[in-house]
Structure 1
Amino acid sequence: MDCCTTNTCVETSRRKSLWQEWKEDIACVFERDPAARTTLEVLATYPGVHALMMHRLSHRLWLRGWRFTARWLSAFGRFISNVDIHPGAQLGARIFIDHGACVVIGETAILGNNVTLYHGVTLGGTSWNKGKRHPTLEDGVLVGCGAKILGNITVGSNARVGANSVVVESVPAACTVVGIPGKVVKVRSAGTLNPYGVDLDHHLIPDPVSKVIACLLDRLDALELQVGGAKEVAVAEVDCDPDNEICERDCARGLVVNQ
């Protein structure tokens, strides 16, 4: 995967020809969707690819000042693909929009290289200001179905956003965010990379709330042993592996491990 800042990646993508960008958008489908069989099938039946091809063209028109034409082409792309990408949005190389249904990308959104979006994703704004008001997704970000990322925030490279999460604060690189509102969970062992270096195991999402509850129950057992006069009290939280920031901060076993 390319190692560069989002702005650099976007600028590099702009220097490519339209044909090169289209070829990369089609090729990355085979890297991230086992259902893809032939190039003809992808071109004919993948609405996410249709939307990206329309956007690549409309974005060029937008940059050249053909704003109405760009918006009209964007509206046509939404009509045929059910994907709404504003022509002003900056998209890097090898973007993959799986299924495509009901994906919305706002005007000032910036996406780096190798970003993967599933259906129902919204990259929206939270301000009436005409400046930067939509999120930035750095290289390798994966966003699960139905997730909403709102406002001028940054999702760091190789981060994952869980399905149906609502993210309103920036996410560090290589982390997972889940919940409403989204909470960052530090995962030491991410999913298995596919042969192309893209983490598609977006179902491997930890549950920090249930983890903390389990830790509290184990701690109660330990306290009951102490109150009962037990001479030796072992650390009871044997099942509470501190694999996220919440457990490391709040669970007794996490504190013991970190000492």
Structure 2
Amino acid sequence: MFKTLKGDLDVVLDRDPAARNRLEVLLTYSGVHAIWAHRLAHFMWGKKLYFLARLLSQISRFFTGIEIHPGAVIGQRLFIDHGMGVVIGETCEIGNDVTIFQGVTLGGTGKEKGKRHPTLEDHVLVATGAKVLGSMRIGKHSRIGAGSVVLKEVPPNSTVVGIPGRVVVQDGVKVGDDLDHINLPDPIADKFRQLERELIRVKKELKEVKREQATKEQTEGKV
């Protein structure tokens, strides 16, 4: 137990450059408070103390702004950065060394029964405001870009962006730096840039055709 609690503190020092020491993290990081409250609530849930577990999770939500259902299974060294607005559903499963930023929802679609929330494997990063909805698996070392809405399974070592979320990088190896969640490919912007280049090409061709037509008319007029 103490090893787990120490890991929860040390992962903040490892991933947040603003964190200076364990005491500061212990007293001021709401993500750590929410995770520790969840670990206790999850223990109660396992003992079928459902009301007490839910009560504790709601008290934690009130103080931290982070809602974690006591039924969710959370691995070692979860890092919730800032955390306000984070929602983690009942049947959600989170592996080890996962990073979650503020405004993230790991929820269901409202139509499923049983396992209805996502499973995040080890070393997954979910960036600010992303929504991962439904019973699907996010593979190891994958990254979900800020504001993305993920509705389908994500293979390991992938980068997902957009609404709906689509895989834009998958090369079988770890993608970049775990915390570099702003410099991600944007397939929609890429498509617009491609259309812009095509439009410029068409305009040049049209201009050339008009020039040739004008030259031809001048030549015929002289004749």
* 2:137 aligned residue (115, 139, 154): 154
Look up the equivalent residue of 1:139 and give its one-letter code: D
CA–CA separation in structure 2 for the residues paired with 1:37 and 1:59: 29
Structure 2 counterparts to residues 206-245 of structure 1, below 5 A = 206-218=185-197
Gaps of 5+ in 2: 210-223
CA–CA separation in structure 1 for the residues paired with 2:202 and 2:139: 40
CA–CA separation in structure 2 for the residues paired with 1:130 and 1:225: 57
* 2:70 aligned residue (87, 103, 110): 87
Kindly provide the CA deviation profile for residues 215-249 of structure 1, in whole angstroms up to 9, marking residues without a partner as x.
Answer: 345456778899979xxxxxxxxxxxxxxxxxxxx
Partner residue in 2 for 1:44? 27
CA–CA separation in structure 2 for the residues paired with 1:71 and 1:224: 63
Structure 2 counterparts to residues 48-197 of structure 1, below 5 A = 48-186=31-169, 192-193=176-177
Kindly provide the CA deviation profile for residues 120-170 of structure 1, in whole angstroms up to 9, marking residues without a partner as x.
Answer: 000011134440000111111101111111001111111111111111111
CA–CA separation in structure 1 for the residues paired with 2:2 and 2:56: 18
Look up the equivalent residue of 1:201 and give its one-letter code: D
Decide whether aligned partners of structure 1 residues 187 and 223 sit closer, same or farther in structure 2, where only a CA change above 3 A counts.
farther
2:2 matches 1:19: yes
CA RMSD for the aligned pairs?
2.3
Instruction: Give the secondary-structure state (helix, strand or coil) at the position aligned to 1:27.
Output: helix
CA–CA separation in structure 2 for the residues paired with 1:206 and 1:129: 32
Q: How many residues align?
A: 207
Does 217-226 or 68-77 show the bigger shift?
Answer: 217-226
Look up the equivalent residue of 2:10 and give its one-letter code: A
Asked if structure 2 preserves the Cα contact closer than 8 Å seen for 1:191 and 1:202, the reply is no
Partner residue in 1 for 2:184? 205
Partner residue in 1 for 2:218? none
CA–CA separation in structure 2 for the residues paired with 1:144 and 1:207: 14
Partner residue in 2 for 1:242? none
TM-score under structure 1 length normalisation:
0.73
Larger Rg: 2
2:32 matches 1:32: no
Decide whether aligned partners of structure 1 residues 123 and 56 sit closer, same or farther in structure 2, where only a CA change above 3 A counts.
same
Asked if structure 1 preserves the Cα contact closer than 8 Å seen for 2:157 and 2:175, the reply is no
Asked if structure 2 preserves the Cα contact closer than 8 Å seen for 1:49 and 1:97, the reply is yes
